[in-house]
């Protein structure tokens, strides 16, 4: 049943779950990871271990290989923008762990990809990304530094939305995990 989300709180992370049983978005705090890692897959655990084992504030922008194209990290400093200026996106071949290193915070809009979701720009075959001009039932998630969100292929997400009306610089690490590792 699309459009009806339930959530469960397991200590700090929020795990959104839909009736059809697909893996869906997770929100948590890296500081609580050691108490919660037993509920995650080994591939997600590898991505989280990467985040824990680095001084993320000192990493320069760029791509960092963990296990080749199957598991890697993208570090960036970007400006947040008003939500209406950001494009919702989704991926087919990778799961994202989006971790906020620094900045005032970031809102990420989240919606489920349904059969009615039609990309306005489809680069799934070449770059594993599709952009959407419209999404239904979007929910906002607020990330503060130290928090992460995990987005699976059925999660349309709109990253880098400003908290408030003006944008500011945030530093993020996005760990990309190939779905065949899950």
Q: Is the pLDDT of residue 45 over 60?
A: yes
Closest listed residue to residue 149, CA positions, set 61, 47, 72: 47
Per residue in 158-171, pLDDT (tens digit) is 999 999 888 999 99
Closest listed residue to residue 171, CA positions, set 80, 88, 82: 80
User: What token pair was written down for 114?
Assistant: 């349904």
Instruction: Please tell me the pTM assigned to this model.
Output: 0.87
Q: What is the DSSP letter of 47?
A: H
Per residue in 57-115, pLDDT (tens digit) is 999 999 999 999 999 999 999 999 999 999 999 999 999 999 999 999 999 999 999 99
Q: Which residues, in sequence order, are CB contacts of 17 under 8 Å at separation 6+?
A: 5, 6, 7, 8, 24
Which pLDDT value is given to residue 181?
94
Q: Is the pLDDT of residue 3 over 80?
A: no
The residue length of the chain stands at: 182
């Amino acid at each position: 049943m699309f459009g009806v989300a339930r959530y469960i709180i397991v200590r700090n992370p929020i795990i959104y779950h839909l009736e059809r049983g697909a893996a869906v978005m997770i929100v948590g705090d890296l500081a609580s990871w050691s108490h919660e890692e037993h509920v995650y897959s080994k591939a997600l655990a590898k991505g989280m271990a990467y985040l824990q084992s680095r001084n993320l504030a000192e990493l320069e922008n760029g791509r960092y290989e963990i296990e080749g194209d199957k598991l890697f990290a993208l570090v960036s400093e970007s400006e947040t923008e008003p939500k209406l200026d950001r494009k919702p996106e989704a991926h087919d071949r990778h799961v994202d762990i989006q971790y906020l290193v620094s900045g005032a915070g970031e809102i990420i809009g989240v919606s489920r990809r349904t059969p009615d979701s039609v990309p306005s720009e489809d680069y799934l075959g070449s770059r594993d990304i599709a952009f959407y001009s419209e999404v239904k039932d979007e929910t906002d998630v607020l990330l503060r530094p130290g928090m992460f969100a995990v987005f699976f292929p059925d999660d349309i997400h709109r990253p880098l939305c400003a908290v408030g009306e003006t944008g500011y610089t945030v530093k993020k690490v996005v760990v990309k995990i190939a779905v065949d590792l899950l």
